[in-house]
Structure 1
Amino acid sequence: MTEQAVQVRPEWRRGTVSGDGVTLATFELGDPGNPTVLLVHGWPDTHHLWTHIAPRLAEKYHVVAYDCRGFGESDRPREVGAYRLAELADDLFAVAEAVSPDAPVHVVGHDWGSVQAWEAVSRPRAHTRIASFVSVSGPNLDHLGQLLRAGLTRPTPHRVRTIATQSLSSAYTGLFQLPVLPNALLTALGNPRAWKQFLHTVEGTPPENVVVAGTLRRDMITGLALYRANIRQKLSRPDPRPTTVPVLQVVNERDIALRPAIYDNTPDYAAKLWRRDTPTGHWLPYTHPAYLTDTVLDFLAAQTGSDAPPTVERLRVFAEPKPLAGKLVVITGAGSGIGRETALLLAERGCELVLADRNLDTAAETEQACKVAGAVAHAYLLDVSDTGAFVSFAATVREQHGVPDVVINNAGIGLAGGALAATDEQVDRLLDVNLRGVITGSREFGRQMVERGVGGHIVNVSSAAAFTPSRSLGLYSASKAGVLLFSESLRAELAEHRIGVSAICPGIVDTNIVSSTPIAGLDSDSERTQRDRLDRFYQRRGFTPDRVATEIVSAVEHNKAVVPVTPEAKVGYRIYRFAPWLSRIGARQKVTG
């Protein structure tokens, strides 16, 4: 999903800043008495890149964009050496000092704008002139060079993969080093209509969102000097330096030019680092301007101390980045068993957790355990069978914590015994919790994810019973088969929105669901006896819920569709697909009831 283009262009106040013999065109919005936000574009953009973002920032801040040297209305030095990062960082400081002489500025950089801002924040005097830095789609080339050097001198499988994938993504930079061919190609691509179509083709950027200057073709060709002046120099002789400037690194997981792994060593050099990973592409200011604006505003609020949103703190990086770190995760049935173990595992990964259960006391126990693990966690009372309450809960999560990145619909109950012996109340309760609850959670949070437009993941806990028919579990199997097929269908529906859906299908797992499972058609004494027998069997089986939690986290990280978990689930899944007659024979065996 993409956001609708902003139809009204900002009415910039134009000016110039001169330094080192180069005159830079500046463009301002907002009250100069407010803190200044300096917007720095990359290749082949100009200040127009910020068309959809600057007006909202200007409601609270003094916003200044400028055309970098070689672009738009600014001067165009002819020498390649004039485009080294040292000169570009000098330009940034010159603009900052001219537009905000008495206070440091907040910098937001994209692409080469981010690259040159990294050079600026790595200078000793940066902490006096730069209050914070939001980096979007642009690495520190010294960090990258150091990472590549480590991959060559101390190779590991991860480092080798990083070098290989990034080399493939960066192949165009080699082309840009050539003297004639790239000029000819960019002459054709420099037509505004062709460039908009190119962006739409490579990452779905809406053409109506792309705002370019009349100097686009010239900017493309002049901007080749950025690659020629810096790539080989920085990657072959990196000089990584630390920074104390607070940095938010926005990492786009679908960036066509930059792979997420190249940012892994940033914590080694940034003392105050936050990181947000999203399944978005390179030109985020065009594809999701509202999302990026909200991200910047939240971070600026945290840095200025004005109503800092709690969403920012979960993005803080204190050591090596972890997969899923900073994600907001909602888990139902989080008070015990699989739900609790999944919460604890995600707490270790650095997620913020919203924990719902029909027993608030057990949810609070999970909340406390997650906090001990260093995570931010919140416990809520929720009966997933109450659709109205679930709808209200989803709205509360959005209002209090934001749109979740991951939702795990785990809450479930059991029902054993024959279908004919079950009461209507038992059937209704089973379907309301196991199926309707999953559907409600998926629909409510799925709508939020679609509206936000930057993807997400939904996990629905089904069961091996979904594909293992049994005369003693027919109703339970029906509820879990509904979850499985609903999840498969929802996955197809949400794929275009970059929202993954996984169905988790455990077999025999030692949780407390057995001890609370009613057995239809039995008196209370017989039910208790058979339930105790099954409970002892599950305990002897010894497959613990933490192993299911590991599979759930893996399903999110790798966007798996259907995950049979236990050995019997994996075997049963294949038997039902390839030899269903064997499943039917096994279904006749009486387990209980």
Structure 2
Amino acid sequence: MVDWRKQWVRNGGVSLAVFEVAGSAADDSGEHRPTVLLVHGWPDTHHLWTHVAPALARDFHVVAYDCRGFGESDRPEGDAAYRLDALADDLFAVGEAVSPERPIHVVGHDWGSVQAWEAVTQPGAESRIASFVSVSGPNLDQLGAWARKSLSRPTPRHVKDVLAQAGSSAYTVFFQLPVVPRLFFGVAGSPTLWREFLHLIEGTPRANVIVGDTLRADMISGLRLYRANIRAKLADPRTRPTSVPTLELVNERDIALRPAIFDDTHRYTQRLWRRSTPTGHWLPYTNPDHLVRSASDFIATHASRSTPAIAARVDRTRVFGTPHPLSGKLAVITGAGSGIGRETAFALAEQGCELILADIDLAGADETARQSKALGTQASPYELDVADVGALAAFAESVRDRHGTPDIVINNAGIGLAGSVLAATDEQVDRLLGVNLRGVISGSRVFGRLMAERGIGGHIVNVSSAAAFTPQRSLGLYSASKAGVLLFSESLRAELGEHRIGVSAICPGIVDTHIVSATPIAGLPAAEEETERRRLDGLYRRRGFTPDRVAREIVDAIIGNKAVVPVTPEAKIGYRIYRFTPWLSRLGARQKVVG
């Protein structure tokens, strides 16, 4: 539990209970630390921050308070006392009391974020608020403007987004009824039921939900927030800009707030960073470690206490204009030195991802990193042989320690082997399976563990091939390696689904990359092998399907969480033939293509 030290702050006629983490005001040398003010929402109190405050207190002076109407603070009568301007005044009053000489850093959740938005959009707010981390709470004026704009040009997408948010917000209508909600929470507002509710809707561990003795009264008193603000703000939105640096943590599984409502935040925020994860509404209870790390990095950067590594992590979440779906994600790509890997790096760079680029050819990875940086992203090259299980495990640890746990992993590295199965050497077979199959399995395992331990989801892409479902007499070993990747990926997707980690198998067909020019052809003399390689390479070039088109399919698979993606027309046709008329595939396999 947290060692809170209580004091009182008065704003007008309202007394606010303020809680400081004991011993967090100064470091061991006596230097005063930056002050972080934690602001809760409905129906919480300062206890919401039980799992967050101690971790933040290792680096910052941490203060929380019970907002008016909650916990130990006063509960003024009437709805007018709960308007957002009054709540913003409370925030400034507490900030002035706990850090009179330096601006504060604010972390707000739910209605705590809503009232903090009201504060940071006040004229001159930047002189008292150094940074703002917004969690599960929009600016109500911006929300009203977004709804009006969406309905003024009602495309199917806009209508869908508005209807989805209206459905998620339906409870607010119930909350504004005159008597019924008071009666409901008078009966249902028990800590046990509240813990069960959060466990049911987003899997929050029951033991993580820490509430005060005032929960039932807080639920009822807090209803005035809805009556005092929702209708007025949405009916007459008055958007104002802010120059306070803002980090917006968007929870894609938020039961109350759809991600689309945050699409226009950049229009009103001069310095905006954004991080989206497949997490739920009550992040401080369910995923406190993710919140602590995100907030700590952001606050440290804007308190001039950051390291270059922290600054790089924060920079990749910066939003310039309309945010992309993958903005701020950390992506690892193997086989990134050329072909599909390089083009996928460029496609993710355009999405605003930070890139970790691995390849057995370090010079190729370096060149991909150089070109990716020209697109405005952070990119770090690494030398890696994915067939070396120990090296891959060490690489994963290095990525975690230097850059953080990746959000996206693309196991793309692969090699070819054609010709007779009987003529292939054991060394060729071992190398093929080591890179194409074991490399994918190892990469998925080491990074999958990191993603599962972090607890906020992620996505793994394994590059298979159309050869996985189009048997060919001259590609039996290669097809076996890629079929293994395909079925492994589908099985892994089922296993990792409970961790909200998506897995996609990408199955290109004939794509113009350099893999053919380096593919051994078993059973042919050296001179004939080189001639055959040139012939096949020419065929692939004439086909003209370039790797950037595969990269676009990979990005779409990540965004749409697709399971299996055949790429190229022949791959899509072959996939359906193998599924519905496999005998045709077997007939086709008898045709001699190589040699």
> TM-score band, normalised by the shorter chain?
over 0.9
In structure 2, the residue matched to 1:4 is none
- What one-letter code is carried by the residue in structure 2 that aligns with 1:429? R
**Which of residues 453, 467, 470 is equivalent to 1:468?**
470
Which residue number in structure 2 is paired with residue 118 of structure 1?
117
Alignment of 1:134-173 (within 5 A): 134-173=133-172
Partner of 2:14: 22
What amino acid is the match of 1:31? Answer: A
* Identical-residue share of aligned pairs (%): 69
Query: 5 Å matches for 1:232-381?
Result: 232-308=231-307, 309=310, 310-381=312-383
Query: What is the rounded CA distance, in whole Å, between the counterparts of 2:247 and 2:204 in structure 1?
Result: 24
Q: Secondary structure at the match of 1:316?
A: coil
Q: Distance in 2 between matches of 1:568 and 1:60?
A: 56
Further displaced range: 296-305 or 132-141: 296-305
**Equivalent of 1:488 in 483, 487, 490:** 490
Greater displacement, 58-67 / 320-329: 58-67
In structure 2, the partner of 1:31 is 25
CA distance in 2, matches of 1:157, 1:373: 32
Counterpart-to-counterpart distance in 2, 1:35 and 1:332: 40
Asked if residue 104 in structure 1 is aligned to residue 103 in structure 2, the reply is: yes
- The aligned counterpart of 1:3 is none
Partner of 2:580: 578
Deviation at 1:189, TM superposition (A): 2.4
Deviations 1:437-470 (A, max 9, x none): 1011101111110111110000000001101111
The letter of the residue matching 2:410 is I
Residue 101 of structure 1 and its aligned partner are, at CA, apart by 1.0
Cross-structure match for 2:29: none
Q: Residue 418 of structure 2 aligns to a residue in which SS?
A: coil
* 1:447-462 → structure 2 map (5 Å cutoff): 447-462=449-464
CA distance in 1: counterparts of 2:257 and 2:316, whole angstroms: 24
C-alpha separation in 2, matches of 1:204 and 1:527: 58
Scaled by the length of structure 2, what TM-score is found? 0.97
Q: Kindly state the Cα deviation for residue 155 of structure 1 after the two structures are TM-superposed.
A: 2.6
Amino acid at match of 1:38: L
CA distance in 1, matches of 2:579, 2:95: 65
AA aligned opposite 2:404: G
Q: Which amino acid aligns with 1:108?
A: V
State the match for 1:389 in structure 2.
Answer: 391
CA distance in 2, matches of 1:589, 1:34: 73
Q: Distance in 2 between matches of 1:539 and 1:263?
A: 44
Which runs of structure 2 are paired with 1:552-567 in the superposition (5 Å)? Answer: 552-567=554-569
Contact 2:130 2:303 in 1 (8 A): no
Structure 1 SS opposite 2:19: strand
Structure 1 residue 125: Cα displacement: 2.2
Cα distance in 2 for residues equivalent to 1:58 and 1:524? 67
Please tell me the residue identity of whatever aligns with 1:549. A
Note the residue ranges of structure 1 that are not aligned, 5 or more in a row: 1-8
For residues 52 and 401 of structure 2, the distance between their equivalents in structure 1, rounded to whole angstroms, comes to 23
DSSP 3-state at the match of 1:31? coil
DSSP-derived class of the 1:451 partner: helix
Letter in 2 for 1:207: R
What is the alpha-carbon root mean square deviation over aligned residues? Answer: 0.9
Post-superposition offset of 1:188? 2.7
Q: Deviations over 1:522-575 (max 9, x none)?
A: 011111111111111111111111111111001100111111111111111111
Which residue pairs with 2:405 in the alignment? 403
Equivalent residue for 2:227?
A: 228
Which secondary structure does the structure 2 equivalent of 1:298 belong to? helix
DSSP 3-state at the match of 1:443: helix
Are 1:13 and 2:5 matched, yes or no? Answer: yes
- In 2, the alpha carbon distance for the partners of 1:565 and 1:339 equals 15
User: What corresponds to 2:54 in structure 1?
Assistant: 55
Query: 3-state DSSP class of the match of 2:522?
Result: coil
Per-residue deviation, residues 325-365 of structure 1 (Å, max 9, x unmatched): 11000000111111111100111111000111111111111
2:8 counterpart letter in structure 1: T
8 Å CA contact 2:387, 2:434 repeated in 1: yes
* Aligned-pair CA distance for 1:156: 3.0
Alignment partner of 1:92 is 2:109: no
Does the CA contact (< 8 Å) of 2:409 and 2:460 recur in 1? yes
Q: What TM-score do the two structures reach when normalised by structure 1?
A: 0.98
Q: CA deviation at 1:63?
A: 1.1
Q: Distance in 2 between matches of 1:57 and 1:325?
A: 25
Q: Which amino acid aligns with 1:189?
A: A
Q: CA deviation at 1:187?
A: 2.1
Q: Which range moves more in the overlay, 341-350 or 288-297? A: 288-297
Deviation at 1:408, TM superposition (A): 0.2
Task: Could you tell me which runs of 5 or more consecutive residues in structure 2 were left unpaired when the two chains were aligned.
Answer: 27-31
Other-structure match for 2:533: 531
Counting matched residue pairs gives: 585
Whole-Å separation in 2 of the counterparts to 1:403 and 1:93? 36
The residue that corresponds to 2:508 in the other structure is 506
